[in-house]
Chains A and B, each alone.
Chain A
Amino acid sequence: MTIALVSGRALPLRGNELDTDRIMPARFLKAVTFEGLEQHVFEDDRKTNPSHPFSNPAYRGAAILVANENFGCGSSREHAPQGLQRWGIKAIVGESFSEIFRGNSSVLGVPCFTADKASIEQLQTLIEQKPDTVVTADVATGTITAGDLTIQGTLPAGVRDAFLTDKWNPTSMLLADFDRVRATAAKLPYVAGF
């Protein structure tokens, strides 16, 4: 499946350094599947803050998450983007992301666009004022439109092209030329025990 356009209502989530322990507390990692994780997204934050955006009925069904700096920092747990995706999130726009989180999301088919602070602020404010606004993120151009507002987002080129050409789930690509994997291994001194 190529991913060229993500469109839907959005959810503004303010705050920097929202780490993956916050997105998915460790106790919900006690499982052998990812099933049901959508119920626990930001669970502890939502308990202490009843008006948390993920508890706000106005944002129910949102497809695009709008975050601030260093979103998804900390643990490499894929349970965090799995939970967000299962909740309904199909793309994230933020000021910056932790690399592991961004990579994990990409492999799930959830593009993470970066945009500058002022643009994010405008987008979050707009959604807070008009939660019904449909936001559209264009993977090829990075353009994110919401009503009259257009902001410029960015995806790393490799990831962008992977979405556009249906190469974002890389396993079959990694297996496509397996002789070259073997050849690379054969040249590494340690693989054969020096």
Chain B
Amino acid sequence: MPTLFHKVWNAHAVRTLPSGQTQLFVGLHLIHEVTSPQAFDMLHQHGWTVAFPERTFATVDHIVPTSSQRRPFLDVMAEEMTSALERNCARHGIRLFAPGDDLSGEQGIVHVIGPEMGLTQPGMTIACGDSHTSTHGALGAIAFGIGTSQVRDVLASQSLAMDPLKVRRIDINGSLRPGVYAKDVILTIIRRLGVNGGVGYAYEYGGSTVDDMSIDERMTICNMSIEGGARVGYVNPDDSTFAFLKGRKYAPTGEAWDRAVAWWRSLASDHDAIYDDRVVIDAATIEPTVTWGINPSQSVGVSEPIATRDDEALAYMGFADGQKVAGTKIDVAFIGSCTNGRLSDLEEVAKFVKGRQVAPHVKALVVPGSQDVRRRAEAKGLDRIFAAAGFEWRGAGCSMCLAMNPDRLEGNQICASSSNRNFKGRQGSPTGRTLLMSPVMVAAAAIAGEVADVRELLEPAHA
């Protein structure tokens, strides 16, 4: 009867705290340069040490430049934050996947490298000082973002004081139509359930559409759970999950692998699991989706007119009620981020852009999610396809998703972006404007110079 959420929660519950909250053991702790330095300072002020250093892994992603990772970074603060992380990891014996210009590195966006290295596994509790930690739920983990004081708590005690969540099952059934991707599925879920529909819930995604998805696609969906208000999103582990993990650096091997698979299988929600809420979505009703507003639920199908009374959002974005987003001239195209910066995303985009050209007025960037993604993409020649089409091919990092590095919008530029947030000012300019969409739709916009319906541009073979 229990769901995966309840099984994993119960396995990790240490005790009930005097406050009534649960002390929850954290199986994997991921840290990065932005939300950890103050946590280490607090730890040191109290004279605490790191309880389980072998269960914490670090990387540098938010502030890393994507033009060159040569040290020292030109940005003095970026260098100081990276040095602080290096010192803290060295002092406490924490493994750091450090930046560097040699492509033998393992650095990358924290939510890309965890699954990539097999650190992320089904049945774990995973915490990271980053709201997109929900991404790791795609492998059947219970993964959630935390603040810096909680990073301190996990460092000190490998545990957190938490309240349990309710579970909402979201079934997506049927085949996605051509030109419709995992990104469109999650944008549609957020549009229908709202940006705070998931507050108090973990989202369990399932149904035939999700069953048929690759782990990369499931990661795109789980990644944006938080944009729907759900701190946790997950998919039950299945054969695709196990096939994805097998052979990865930190995955178990030999007989341990067999024991692991048996345990992982036992954690999936029972067939008669009881959910606090259920939602069913027909995949055939999902269109290529674009946001027009200043929160991720403000989206429409690309061929559909905007219908809203949110004058603040319309004024900021320069749209009118009843207008279509298709045809909106763009200035920048950004392909990357923890939502859509994995190899399969880049392969899908490369297929589409081969033989086409970015419009002359558009600055177009492709930023791989990790050094490993970059290396594998280059081995397949994707970098040359992107360069030939007029895209800049960059180094690994968060880049223009939140613009803490030199990649940012200027003035009120409009960016077609494969990232996850269209908040005011999100991409580095206080008046910058973001249109969220799938990576292939971003590529279509880059080539057309304006938001375009990718279905009209797909080769007959794809359509």
> Chain A interface (Cβ within 8 Å of chain B)?
15, 17, 19, 21-22, 25-27, 29-34, 44-45, 47-48, 69-70, 73-79, 81-82, 96-100, 103-104, 107-108, 156-159, 161-162, 165, 167-171, 173-175, 177-178, 180-181, 184-185, 187-191, 193-194
Contact = CB atoms under 8 A, between A and B. Distances in A.
B37 A33 contact: yes
Interface string B234-270: 0000000000000000001000110110010000000
Nearest to B20: A158
Contacts of B173: none
Contacts of A25: 425, 430
Given A76-B131, A98-B229, A21 B41 contact: no
B410 to A, nearest CB: 14
Nearest to A161: B19
28 contacts: A22-B423, A27-B404, A27-B428, A30-B81, A31-B77, A47-B430, A48-B430, A69-B196, A70-B229, A76-B130, A78-B129, A78-B147, A100-B131, A104-B149, A104-B150, A107-B147, A107-B150, A156-B163, A158-B20, A161-B18, A165-B18, A168-B19, A170-B21, A170-B153, A175-B48, A181-B14, A184-B14, A191-B27
Nearest to B54: A191
> Sorted from nearest, which 5 A-B pairs have the closest CB atoms?
A104-B147, A78-B147, A76-B145, A162-B19, A174-B157
B148 interface: yes
Contact of B34 (A29, A33, A158, A181): A29
A41 to B, nearest CB: 14
B176 interface: no
B352 interface: no
B423 A21 contact: yes
A77 to B, nearest CB: 7
Category for how many chain B residues contact A: 35 or more
A18 B308 CA distance: 18
A45 B153 CA distance: 33
Given A70-B229, A98-B199, A187 B11 contact: yes
Contact of B19 (A32, A70, A167, A175): A167
A99 B17 contact: no
B359 interface: no
B12 A161 contact: no
A189 B35 contact: no
Interface in B111-137: 121, 123-124, 129-131, 133
A25 B259 CA distance: 46
B259 A189 contact: yes
Contact of B35 (A33, A77, A181): A77
Contacts of B231: 99-100
A161 B78 CA distance: 40
Contact of B23 (A162, A165, A174, A185): A174
Contact of A74 (B20, B81, B131, B257): B131
B169 interface: no
Given A19-B423, A22-B424, A158-B21, 5 more contacts: A29-B404, A44-B424, A76-B147, A158-B19, A175-B157
B25 A167 contact: no
A29 B158 CA distance: 25
Contact of B256 (A15, A103, A193): A193
Contacts of A26: 402-404, 426, 428
A25 B427 CA distance: 10
Nearest to A71: B196
Nearest to B18: A167
A173 B149 CA distance: 14
Contacts of A167: 17-19
Contact of A178 (B11, B37, B129, B157): B157
B123 A190 contact: yes
A181 B52 CA distance: 11
For A34, A189, A193, the residue with the greatest tally of chain B CB atoms inside 10 Å of its CB is A189
Contacts of B41: 32-33
A96 B12 CA distance: 29
A173 to B, nearest CB: 6
Contacts of A159: 19, 21, 163
A96 B14 CA distance: 29
B409 interface: no
A73 B230 CA distance: 10
Given A180-B14, A190-B124, A194-B252, A96 B199 contact: yes
Given A173-B161, A174-B161, A103 B150 contact: yes
B48 A158 contact: no
A179 to B, nearest CB: 10
B84 interface: yes
Nearest to B230: A99
Contact of A34 (B38, B123, B294, B402): B38
Contacts of B80: 32
B172 interface: no
B370 interface: no
Contacts of A81: 147
B15 interface: yes
A193 B81 CA distance: 33
